[in-house]
Amino acid sequence: MLAATVASLGVTMPPVSPTGLQNRIWRWRGFDVRYQCLGDERADGPAVLFVHGLFVNADHWRRNLPALADAGCRCYAIDLLGYGYSSKPNPLSEAAKAVSGENGRSLSAPVADLGTAGGGTREGVEVELAHPVAGSPYNFYTWSEQLLDFEAEVIGGDEPVTLVANSIGSISALQAAIDAPARINGVAIVNPNFRELHVSEQPALLRPLLVPIIEAVQRTLRERGQPLFDALARPATVQQILKEPYFDADMVTDELVDVPPTAPLLPADGGAHPPAIRL
């Protein structure tokens, strides 16, 4: 399938990416997942799977795939569920809940010692592991399982795969390495996001005040935030957002933000709000 319409969004996937790579669809647990491949898939070269971050998609790696393919690697880039041209199921639908990576996991709120930006340590911090929206598939456990299933069903081979990940993709990749260490050769992290905005990162003295405020803002955005998302879902706005984390702002090009128009900011199938706000 070289052309597909992202369900209910009216967004059609073109046959090729802006750089000419063939767009492919992998059917995963009843949903469509867009991916790209560069390099000889039948060769014995090392396999590398690229995992994008927030607000972008597989085309984020458009300049990296050719370089590694020329070096003899089999390179793959994937759109995580909820991003790019992959399906964006309503997080409250039964089909979406059925694929959540939290299913079958014992997720509580363990107490851990966390580092600080200044190099210190905060001891005995309770860290909630489960997604705040019960049943939502938009979590790092789902994306970890998506990466591992892709490795098994699409990449194949006897050798483990190397993951190259950015932003929230970093956590998904690290979770995959935890879930199946024998199948992951290593994880290369580029400008990671380590959940700095997680409620557990708030100072202990201010947490009783800040956490209810943060949760209220998140809940309001999930329930009534579509006008804000509509305002943000414009290439010019997304370009400005992405220029902040990019070391070279010139790399934030039109082709990066127009595939499709900021998909994470579009409503998910069934009118639910986008996965970006449910992280």
User: Could you report the per-residue pLDDT of 18-43, keeping only the tens digit for each?
Assistant: 889 999 999 999 999 999 999 988 77
Closest CA to 111 of 98, 122, 120, 100: 122
Distance separating alpha carbons of residues 15 and 190, to the nearest angstrom: 28
Residue 102 in this model has a pLDDT that exceeds 90: yes
Share of the chain above pLDDT 90, in %: 39
Q: Cis link prior to 18 (omega < 30° from 0)?
A: no
- What count of Cα atoms within 13 Å lies in the side-chain half-sphere of residue 56? 28
Q: In this predicted model, which residue has the larger pLDDT, 134 or 58?
A: 58
Bridge partners of 114, per DSSP, are 122
Q: Position 36: which residue type?
A: Q
Beta strands in 29-132 (DSSP E): 31-38, 47-51, 74-78, 111-115, 121-126
pLDDT in tens, 62-86: 989 999 999 999 999 999 999 989 9
